[in-house]
Amino acid sequence: MTHVKICGITTAEDALLAAELGASALGFVFWPHSPRYIEPIAARAIVARLPPFITPVGVFVNQPIPTVLAIARFARLGAVQLHGDETAEEYATLPTRVIKALPLRNAQDGGAAGAVPSNAMVLLDAYDPVRRGGTGRAVDWSVASAVARHRPVILSGGLHAGNVVDAIAAVHPYGVDASSGIEVSPGRKDPAKLRALFAALRES
């Protein structure tokens, strides 16, 4: 099964269900302007309850690198996801695994993946300069596929049980990232939608 990251986790119940169903990573949003924001101390408490094979990922948007690293250490994260306008120089040598989110509008945006250092994982998401993810909008899978032919990518953008199998077939990503498509409200997952997502993946 394709690697699955469930993002926008704010409760232990959602985290543990995602882990039970087969998620390999969970995303915690530490950008205060997000409706899925979680306090570092709350995230740390959830991370402490996770099975050892789950990678906790912190999501940040244009936040100072010292702040990013401090939260990563405090919350015991396994990786950081930079979802803003961070430059390669800012994160190329960070002492943690890095996921760099790239907004996709067209093929030109896809070309920007070449500037991401090879030691960082590329995450492709829908373009939204205000919300910075979690929009529920899909990316252009043909553009995403062109990027995925050159390097491993995580595909995000409006994924749910009804489209995730087609998305994987079209893009062939290393992994997928689901958030808004499996929620009842921002930051609260719908157990039925979460189960349906993993059922679709297992049956594909």
Concerning whether 128 is annotated as a catalytic residue, the answer is no
Token couple for 166: 């087609």
Q: Nearest to residue 159, comparing CAs of 140, 181, 128?
A: 181
Concerning whether 14 is annotated as a catalytic residue, the answer is no
Q: Are 108 and 80 in contact (CB under 8 A)?
A: no
Among 7, 14, 140, 177, the active-site one is 7
Among 14, 125, 140, 177, the active-site one is 125
Q: Are 162 and 182 in contact (CB under 8 A)?
A: no
Q: Amino acid identity, residue 87?
A: T
Q: How far apart, in whole angstroms, are the C-alpha atoms of residue 92 and residue 72?
A: 16
Q: How far apart, in whole angstroms, are the C-alpha atoms of residue 10 and residue 28?
A: 7
Q: How far apart, in whole angstroms, are the C-alpha atoms of residue 198 and residue 113?
A: 28
Residue 30: φ, ψ to 5°: -105, 20
Positions annotated as catalytic residues are 7, 125
